[in-house]
């Protein structure tokens, strides 16, 4: 009897263990995860249906399961839309990407997937040296704004990222500690398929910009795609993917200093002919560079020639450079009085580009002029990011620490057509991005949220919008720039 009882107990234990193994296998199976993902998307789609219809530019359909007290009057709806148009250009908040996972993580960069415009990659990392902590890159989908599809955690904060065009599943990230890494977003694996940790030429400072660039090295050869980076260590570096990373410096950003003022141009009394000005000599003796190189904060390649690019520096200059010539700048553009955070070529008009920086200004340039064509000042905060519209040549957006600005040069050059301020004084806006497939924009902030806004009542692009921008940036014969500001104070803003 004892043996029978013991045998029955062992059978029960064995059966319980088998059930546990079966349950664990089901819970950890890929098929269950895929089905749960579909179910989560269906539930989320029901919640966000109206907002996502606006995002897509589609008609909002009434919920058949929701009891309605009165029938929908289409004429009244059209009148309400007409009333909204009277308000002028404005933005409407649709939803946010974020949650517990990203709370209190500063958003440092954002980029769209080149093949699937519904996939957004967001980098989380702090700007300040004393605030550094681990970072992460999240891939969000419009199908589920509640939780990211992919999460890649890193030991250092992420400061730049970009998707490959030839291989849209590859995401390149740059980090605060100077590391470059490439992740495969098709996989949930947390380990990068490539990184530069063991590379002798690894950056020595934060990587502020990273891009995949397609280039044809020899006539008739297939275009290859390489990674280009710029960093605070003063280097613009090209990374080739072979068996690992191989790198070559495209340019070392040598400091050029500040020119003496006109009143300092006179030689000292009694000095020999050709002698340097007295005050300039004294300044040169007293102002030795701590570093020979100026930190690179951003770059952008010429739209029709991937051999030419612009680099924005912490010194306040923008340099035009060539991949074929790394000894000297092709051109230097002066105008900013503080670090230049971003530089962006116009997607519509060649030779036209925008810059923004810590001196509270946005500047519009023509590549043939070394001074800005227009200077926009609308607040006393540093301008952290800018982006051209993908729809209209004369529209661009920007974010300062506490507000969003949308400019339309067809309407006015003096003030933004839309200003939207944040309600929380502790939240700092850091990144800005227009969507490629809808009339919306995205703004990232220091609290870890990416907010999606719909642009409303912005003039539709006419057939002359490209010509309008060409007329604005047409080189002025005298070479003088025009300053358009809505504030009377111009000074250097705080550090980034």
- pLDDT tens column, 127-159: 877 777 888 999 999 888 889 999 999 999 999
Tens of pLDDT, residue by residue, the chain (496 residues)? 555 565 666 667 677 787 788 777 777 777 877 787 788 778 887 788 888 888 887 777 776 766 655 554 544 444 455 555 567 888 999 999 998 899 989 999 999 999 999 999 999 998 877 777 888 999 999 888 889 999 999 999 999 999 999 999 999 999 999 999 999 999 888 899 998 887 888 899 999 999 999 876 655 566 788 999 999 999 999 998 887 888 899 999 998 866 533 344 344 444 444 444 444 444 444 445 556 888 899 999 998 888 899 999 999 999 999 988 888 899 999 999 999 999 999 999 989 999 999 999 999 999 999 999 999 998 888 999 999 999 899 999 999 988 999 999 988 888 999 999 888 888 899 999 999 878 899 999 999 999 999 998 887 777 788 898 998 888 655 545 555 544 433 433 444 5
Q: How far apart are the first and last CA of the chain?
A: 80
pTM: 0.80
* Cα 16 to the center of its chain, rounded Å: 53
Residue 358 token pair: 């810590």
**Does residue 430 contact residue 384 with C-beta atoms inside 8 Å?**
yes
Predicted confidence at residue 282, as pLDDT, reads: 45
The pLDDT score that the predictor gives to residue 288 is: 52
Cβ(321)–Cβ(312) under 8 Å?
A: no
Cβ neighbour number for residue 62 with a 10 Å cutoff? 10
What are residue 299's DSSP bridge partners? Answer: 311
Question: Which pLDDT belongs to residue 21?
Answer: 80
Instruction: Please give the pLDDT value at position 176.
Output: 93
């Amino acid at each position: 009897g004892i043996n029978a009882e013991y045998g029955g107990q062992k059978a029960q234990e064995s059966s319980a263990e088998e059930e546990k193994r079966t349950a664990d296998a089901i819970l950890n199976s890929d098929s269950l995860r895929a089905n749960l993902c579909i179910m989560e998307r269906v539930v989320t789609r029901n919640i966000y249906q109206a907002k996502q219809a606006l995002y897509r530019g589609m008609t909002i359909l009434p919920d058949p399961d929701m009891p309605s007290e009165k029938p929908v009057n289409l004429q009244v709806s059209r009148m309400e839309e007409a009333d909204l148009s009277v308000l002028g250009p404005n933005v409407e908040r649709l939803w946010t990407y974020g949650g517990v996972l990203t709370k209190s993580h500063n958003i440092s960069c954002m980029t769209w997937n080149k093949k699937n415009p519904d996939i957004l990659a967001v980098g989380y990392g702090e700007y300040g040296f004393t605030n550094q902590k681990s970072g992460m890159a999240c891939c969000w989908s419009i199908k589920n704004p509640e939780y990211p599809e992919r999460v890649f955690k890193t030991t250092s904060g992420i400061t730049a990222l970009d998707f490959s065009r030839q291989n849209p599943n590859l995401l390149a990230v740059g980090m605060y500690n100077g590391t470059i890494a490439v992740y495969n977003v098709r996989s949930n694996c947390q380990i990068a398929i490539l990184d530069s940790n063991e590379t002798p030429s690894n950056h020595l400072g934060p990587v502020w910009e990273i891009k995949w660039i397609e280039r044809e090295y020899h006539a008739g050869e297939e275009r290859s795609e390489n990674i280009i980076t710029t960093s605070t260590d003063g280097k613009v570096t090209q990374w080739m993917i072979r068996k690992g990373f191989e790198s070559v410096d495209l340019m070392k950003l040598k400091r050029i200093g500040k020119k003496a003022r006109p009143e300092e141009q006179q030689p000292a009394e009694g000095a020999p002919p050709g002698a340097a000005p007295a005050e300039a000599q004294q300044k040169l003796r007293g102002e030795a560079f701590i570093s020979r190189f100026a930190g690179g904060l951003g770059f952008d390649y010429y739209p029709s020639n991937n051999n030419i690019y612009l680099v924005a520096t912490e010194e306040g200059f923008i340099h035009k450079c060539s991949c074929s010539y790394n000894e000297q700048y092709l051109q230097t553009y002066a105008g900013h009085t503080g670090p230049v955070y971003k530089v962006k070529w116009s997607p519509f008009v060649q030779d036209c580009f925008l810059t923004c920086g810590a001196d509270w200004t946005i500047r519009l340039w023509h590549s043939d002029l070394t001074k800005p064509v227009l200077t926009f000042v609308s607040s006393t905060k540093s301008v952290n990011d800018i982006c051209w519209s993908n729809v209209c040549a004369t529209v661009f957006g920007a974010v300062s620490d506490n507000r969003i600005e949308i400019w339309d040069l067809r309407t006015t050059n003096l003030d933004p057509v839309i200003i939207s301020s944040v309600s929380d004084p502790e939240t700092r806006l850091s990144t800005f991005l227009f969507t490629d497939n809808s009339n919306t924009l995205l703004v990232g902030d220091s609290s870890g949220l990416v907010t999606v806004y719909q642009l409303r009542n912005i003039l539709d692009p006419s057939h002359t919008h490209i010509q309008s921008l060409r007329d604005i940036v047409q080189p002025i014969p005298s070479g003088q720039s025009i300053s358009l500001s809505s504030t009377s104070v111009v000074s250097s803003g705080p550090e980034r």
